[in-house]
Amino acid sequence: MQVQLTNRQQHILWAIIRHYIATAEPVGSKALIEEFDLGVSSATIRNVMGVLEKSGLVYQPHTSAGRIPSDSGYRIYVDHLITPSLQDATRNLLLRARSVPQERSTETVGKEVEAALQQLRPWEDWGLEALLQGAAQILATLSGCITLITMPQTNTAQLRHLQLVQIESDKIMLIVVTDGYETHSKVMDLFTASSETKPDPEVIDHELQIVSNFLNSHLRGRSLLELANLDWSELDQEFQRYGEFLKNSLVELTRRTFAPAATQIMVRGVGEVLRQPEFSQVQQVQTIIHLLEEEQEQLWRLICEEPETEDLGKSRVTVRIGAENPLEPIRTCTLISSTYRRGSVPVGSVGVLGPTRLDYESAIAVVAAAADYLSEAFS
């Protein structure tokens, strides 16, 4: 259910969350009056808090207690209240109490992370594992969360030979041989159903051989991970009718045949985050530790899952809050993750895991900056 909030309601929800992130204590109207220059009376704040509670964005842990944010409240906060425009508005609310720190912009946090990660250079002298271990420790220190970084995919198979073969009047087979002499194939339609005429089979065989030779001359020796990044405009205009299905088929073949396999996850920062009050119950701590140590494959699938978007630019950060996490041991936690890439091909993931009472601005910026840095290193 989408909740529409007025500016005043947004500001008060923002103040509740900022107070709770800083103190881990439920907040009442009196505390908000003392700590924030909201420009409204205590009665108005209580009325707004009542509206937020009815909307499911905050709740009372006890009858006589103040309010704390719900998972839905944090979701509104992440999606709408830490955007640049609202950050500008909320920064106009003067923070009077030392217990509620001033926000650092995501740009500032990103630069801090980048500067810290630059200390790992020249990482080529360290080795891959040392680079990731160093990055994981830096992120754990800066975010105060458990840091998770997957080892990169190491499949570097290269194209040795490609052949297009007509097997029926309207079907051809794409055959790919790698440098390890592994063979993979895919059958595909040559023409769409809307085609009114079909060339002579001998003509098709001749053209397929020409296209095969052309592609071999351009693709031989390339890593299969590169196929998704090729500039297909290089194909000659006379082969345009082959271009689209070749592109789609090669990309699909690469993804299907060389789908990422679960790799080791480097974990840092467990001791620090488990000292947070949210993890005071021994049983809860044990289930999280078990997940990190014994069920890494489940966690791997979760942090390597990418949001559906066409943007292949900088890192795309996924934020899963509380019950949005499908894994039971972390349904009281927030998991923030992003993939790092070689070119536009995802090869690994970086994430942080902490309580839902999290400094989201900093954590998101930390993950994004780390993913961009690792992408640059691996590219």
Which pLDDT does position 92 carry in this prediction? Answer: 43
Average pLDDT over residues 345-351: 86
Say whether pLDDT at 96 is over 50. Answer: no
Reported confidence tier of residue 220, pLDDT bands at 50, 70, 90: confident
The CATH number of domain 7-95 is 3.90.1530.10: no
Of residues 169 and 252, which shows the higher confidence score?
A: 169
CATH superfamily, region 106-153+262-378? GAF domain (3.30.450.40)
pLDDT tens string 351-374: 999 999 999 998 999 999 999 988
Say whether pLDDT at 376 is over 70. Answer: yes
Reported confidence tier of residue 217, pLDDT bands at 50, 70, 90: confident
CATH class of 158-258: alpha beta
Task: Assign 3-class secondary structure to the chain.
Answer: CCCCCCHHHHHHHHHHHHHHHHHCCCECHHHHHHHECCCCCHHHHHHHHHHHHHCCCEECCCCCCCEEECHHHHHHHHHHHCCHHHHHHHHCCCECCCCCCCCCCHHHHHHHHHHHHHCCCCHHHCCHHHHHHHHHHHHHHHHCCEEEEECCCCCCCEEEEEEEEEEECCEEEEEEEECCCCEEEEEEECCCCCCCCCCCHHHHHHHHHHHHHHHHHHHCCCEHHHHHHCCHHHCCHHHHHHHHHHHHHHHHHHHHHCCCCCCCEEEECHHHHCCCHHHCCHHHHHHHHHHHHHCHHHHHHHHCCCCCCCCCCCCCCEEEEHHHCCCHHHCCEEEEEEEEEECCEEEEEEEEEEECCCCHHHHHHHHHHHHHHHHHHHC
* Structural domain boundaries in the chain: 7-95, 106-153+262-378, 158-258
Least confident span in 70-79, 146-155, 224-233, 363-372: 224-233
Which pLDDT does position 281 carry in this prediction? Answer: 82
Which pLDDT does position 197 carry in this prediction? Answer: 60
Reported confidence tier of residue 337, pLDDT bands at 50, 70, 90: very high
Residue 4: burial class (beta carbons within 10 Å; 0-12, 13-18, 19+): exposed
Say whether pLDDT at 156 is over 70. Answer: no
Which pLDDT does position 106 carry in this prediction? Answer: 61
Say whether pLDDT at 301 is over 70. Answer: yes
Of residues 21 and 254, which shows the higher confidence score?
A: 21
Say whether pLDDT at 133 is over 50. Answer: yes
pLDDT tens string 310-332: 444 445 899 999 999 999 999 99
Say whether pLDDT at 137 is over 50. Answer: yes
Which pLDDT does position 154 carry in this prediction? Answer: 59
Average pLDDT over residues 247-252: 72
Which pLDDT does position 312 carry in this prediction? Answer: 44
Average pLDDT over residues 44-54: 94
Average pLDDT over residues 103-108: 61
Distance from C-alpha of 210 to C-alpha of 373, rounded to nearest angstrom? 42
Which pLDDT does position 103 carry in this prediction? Answer: 55
User: Which of 39-48, 112-121, 128-137, 297-306 is most confident?
Assistant: 39-48
CA distances from 247 to 66, 71, 232 (A): 58, 42, 7
Which pLDDT does position 274 carry in this prediction? Answer: 80
Of residues 34 and 16, which shows the higher confidence score?
A: 16
pTM of the model: 0.70
CA distances from 365 to 19, 46, 113, 291, 319 (A): 20, 33, 8, 25, 12
Which pLDDT does position 225 carry in this prediction? Answer: 66
Tokens of 165: 């073969």
Of residues 81 and 110, which shows the higher confidence score?
A: 81
Which pLDDT does position 234 carry in this prediction? Answer: 61
Say whether pLDDT at 280 is over 90. Answer: no
Which pLDDT does position 250 carry in this prediction? Answer: 72
Say whether pLDDT at 102 is over 60. Answer: no
